[in-house]
Amino acid sequence: GFASLKGADHIDMLFVHPSAVGQGVARMLCEALEKIAGGRGAKSLTVDASDNAAEFFQKRGYVGKQRNTVTVNGEWLANTTMQKTLGDGTASGVST
């Protein structure tokens, strides 16, 4: 799996290979991004979550803010901008 943070406060990519799903890989990657974001001074973190991943982010405390449509190679796709407020522990990079 891989993940990337854009700037201080936006999850740009999160992907886990189908043969490795359901083993906590995305949870681990997302926790790492939240710590990096906190280390970069972010107070909250956003993601444009695919419909497939929205429930994963919801379980981690992300709240839906806005529904979007985007075109990729002529195909219309929908996603949801979700946001999580980072706590003091996360912002300092300390697990609580």
In sequence order, what are the beta bridge partners of 85? 44
Give the x-and-dash track for 2-31 against ligand COA (CB under 6 A): ------------xxx----xxxxxxx----
Element (H, E) at 57: helix 54-59
Q: Is the CB of 21 or the CB of 78 nearer to ligand COA? A: 21
Per CB under 6 A, 52 contacts ligand COA: yes
CA-closest candidate to residue 92, choices 10, 31, 37, 11: 37
**Residue 33 binds to ligand COA (criterion: CB under 6 A):** no
Q: Amino acid identity of 58?
A: Q
**Min. distance of Cβ 43 from ligand COA in angstroms?**
21
